[in-house]
Amino acid sequence: MAMGGRNDNRGIMAEINVTPLVDVMLVLLVIFMVTAPMMQQGVQVNLPKANTKAMTTQEDTVVVTVEQSGRIFINKDEIPAGDLRGKLADMFASREKKEVFLKADSRVPYGEVVKAMADIKGAGIERLGMVTEPSAK
C-alpha cells in the first residue's frame, strides 16, 4: 500500500511541484499586461469648485483676466496676448509688492491658462493668486 508522499520505488519524493507556481505567474502576467496601459493614460475628471475664504482686496490689486474667447485683460484694460509679460513688467518695475490675481473662464483651455501664468511669472511677479467662485453647498 502506497502512503502519501512515498514512492515505493524511490522512497520520499523531495521535488517541488512547479506547475501551480507557473499557473499563478501566468495569470499575474496577463493581469499586468492588461492593466499596464490603463495606468499610463490620464483620467478625465471634472474638477470641483474651490471652498475658500473670501480674500480682502486692496485698491492697487492687479487682476489678469482670460476670457473664453482668448482675450486678456489687466484689470479692465484689454491687451494683446503677446504683450502681457511686458505690460506687467512695466507696471511692477517700481512696486514693492509684486502680486497678481488670475481669473480665467472655466471653459478656457488649460494650455492658455498655463501660458498666462508663465507670462505673469516671467514678468517677475513673486505671488500669483488664482481667483475662484465659491462652490454651491
| Domain 62-130 class, CATH top level | alpha beta
Reported as a pLDDT band with limits 50, 70 and 90, residue 68 is confident
Q: Cell digits for 105? A: 473662464
Does this model's pTM top 0.85? no
DSSP for 53-116 reads: PPPP--TT-EEEEE-TTS-EEETTEEE-GGGHHHHHHHHTSS-S--EEEEEE-TTS-HHHHHHH
55 pLDDT higher than 70: no
Mean pLDDT in residue range 114-121: 89
What pLDDT score does 25 carry? 93
What number is the average pLDDT over the span 90-111? 85
Judged against a pLDDT cut of 70, whether residue 106 lies above it is answered with yes
Residue range 14-24, pLDDT digits in tens: 778 888 889 99
